[in-house]
Amino acid sequence: MGLTTYFCAQYAVLNYVRRFKHITPLWFANVANNILWWTFVKACWRAAGSMMADRGITFKTTMKARARPPCRCSAMLSACGRTSAQARQ
């Protein structure tokens, strides 16, 4: 009951706007905050669990993407700052 009241009060306070067009940015901020909160709680839970089980905390690495190929655009000045003549070389 208390958790339901807390979330309803949080929703009412966080989404109070004077103009309706401001609701979208607040919604995105609320979603981002909930994702960050969940990530933090998950990390704390795993850290506490690994300490209780007498295991070390492990960090997983991810594979990085390969470097992008050189720009081949036909525009006079591409997004990467090179001219089309430089891109052909």
For residue 10, give Cα distances in angstroms to 3, 6, 21, 24, 33: 10, 6, 20, 17, 12
pTM (2 decimals)? 0.45
For residues 46 and 59, what is the distance between their CA atoms, to the nearest angstrom?
11
| Residue 81's pLDDT band (cuts 50, 70, 90) | low
Which of 10-14, 34-38, 52-56, 84-88 tops mean pLDDT? 34-38
pLDDT digit string, tens, across residues 54-78: 777 677 777 777 766 665 655 555 5
Phi, psi of 8 (to 5 degrees): -65, -40
| Residue 37's pLDDT band (cuts 50, 70, 90) | very high
